[in-house]
Amino acid sequence: MSNSRSTIRLRLTLLYAGSFFVAGAVLIALMYLSLEQWLEARPVAATHMIISKHLALGDRMPAADQLAQAIAAQAEQERREVLRAMLVSSLTALAVVGIAAAGFGWLLAGRALAPLQRVTATARRVADRSLHERIALEGPPDEIKDLADTFDAMLERLDRAFDGQRRFVANASHELRTPLAINRTLIEVALDRPDPPASLRQLGQTLLEVNGRHERLIEGLLLLVSSEQLLTEHRRCDLADLARHVAGSSAGAAAAVGVTLDCSVDPAPVDGDPILLERLVHNLVDNAVRYNVPDGRVRIRCESADGFARLIVVNTGPVVPVFELDGLFEPFRRASAITRRADDPAARRGAGLGLSIVRSVAHAHGGSVHAAADPAGGLIITVSLPAGGTSKTGLSR
């Protein structure tokens, strides 16, 4: 537990110690009043009363008067000293025993909260690893055990739900891709016939384009779902190497639409799935090229600082309103200011999932993605991932 914040254990200890000090102070006050009343009725006080009575009856002698005054002064002094000694001793004892009580309260609070700390530790392990672990807390049927049992039941339901989701993704991958592959094959066979009519060829090309778009849409959806699942690879890789590779493979497509790629990167090692990270870089560069302007420019930067590896992709393009930036990372969402170029065949391939996949991959690697609008037009997208050796993946499912 963090020392910079108030914990339940500390609050319980302060509550125990405060209750003890309040009860001790009340007890000391009652003892002080009782002792004061007893001292008023002690024998020395009675002797003083007898002498005063005789003096009142006329037995007034200088020696007797002085004796009475001396006895009265001595009695008052002794009373004050006894009360003071009693008060000092009681307060000292209260302080010493109170400190000891606070220490025992700290120990008892820690013992009482140990099961809750076990629940918290298990929840953290589940968040970092898998949903298969259970708390299985043993002990009396109290509130903490009820909490642990409820948490175990929730984990069981989540585990079954994610298992079902994984099976659905696997089945959907087969059931959706197979008929589209068959359709593509049939269309290509029909177009391979000798001298097909022009109308048939045009129809076939249109159907191939639609079929290809559906295949890419399904591939993007499946990748979006799989990027939120358990990372199957945890290897050291460098974002700079991935950026150089993607920039090299995208240079031809960028040149075809008049966009210049500028890749200047420094080493930025991370731990994770190289395939997903390559897709992250590819989607950013592909979007930057696709949503650009004639004679535009795309700049790719990598750096490592403050325990994070950062990938920065900057592109020219239309001005994007600030209030539309967050919506860019939602599936099938695009900013209204981003228009596709009619002479760019690649621009018609998008399914609106590129940045959604980027965000999911970044979160799966324990990182974040941030988009900023360039006042001159275009976007500045920064992906921050924990540097190699400090990576913490997201929820494993």
The DSSP element (H or E) to which 194 belongs, if any, is none
Domain spans, the chain? 8-128, 143-226, 235-386
The pLDDT of residue 44: 53
Q: Which residues make Cβ contacts (< 8 Å) with residue 396, sequence separation at least 6?
A: 128, 129, 130, 131, 230, 231
The pLDDT of residue 381: 93
pTM of the model: 0.55
The pLDDT of residue 136: 76
Strands, E, within 266-387: which ranges? 269-272, 297-305, 308-315, 368-373, 379-386
The CATH superfamily assigned to 235-386 is Histidine kinase-like ATPase, C-terminal domain (3.30.565.10)
Structure tokens at 287: 């979007």
Task: Produce one character per residue of 200-217: b if its CB has 16 or more CB atoms within 10 Å, e if not.
Answer: eeeebeebeeebeebbeb
Cα separation, 183 vs 193, in Å, equals: 16
Q: Which residues make Cβ contacts (< 8 Å) with residue 333, sequence separation at least 6?
A: 327, 352
Q: Which residues make Cβ contacts (< 8 Å) with residue 363, sequence separation at least 6?
A: 228, 394
Cα separation, 146 vs 106, in Å, equals: 24
The pLDDT of residue 380: 93
Whether the Cβ atoms of residue 299 and residue 314 lie closer than 8 Å to each other: yes
Identify the DSSP state of 387: B
Identify the DSSP state of 3: T
The pLDDT of residue 140: 75
- Three-class SS state of 380: strand
Cα separation, 324 vs 379, in Å, equals: 12
The pLDDT of residue 348: 46
The DSSP element (H or E) to which 113 belongs, if any, is helix 62-128
Cα separation, 262 vs 112, in Å, equals: 60
Sole residue written with tokens 């599936």: 331
Q: Which residues make Cβ contacts (< 8 Å) with residue 233, sequence separation at least 6?
A: 272, 273, 274, 275, 276
Mind listing the pLDDT tens digit of every residue in the chain (397 residues)?
A: 444 455 777 888 888 888 888 888 888 888 878 877 777 666 555 555 555 555 555 555 566 566 666 766 766 777 778 778 878 888 888 888 888 888 888 888 888 777 777 777 777 777 655 667 777 777 777 777 888 888 888 888 888 887 777 677 667 767 777 888 888 888 888 888 777 788 888 888 888 888 887 777 777 667 666 665 556 567 889 999 999 999 998 998 889 888 999 999 999 999 888 888 888 998 899 989 988 888 899 999 999 988 899 999 999 988 888 888 877 887 766 655 554 443 444 444 555 677 888 888 888 888 899 999 888 888 999 999 998 765 444 444 4
181: left (phi over 0), alpha (psi -120 to 50) or beta: alpha
Nearest in space to 165 (alpha carbons), one of 221, 232, 215:
221
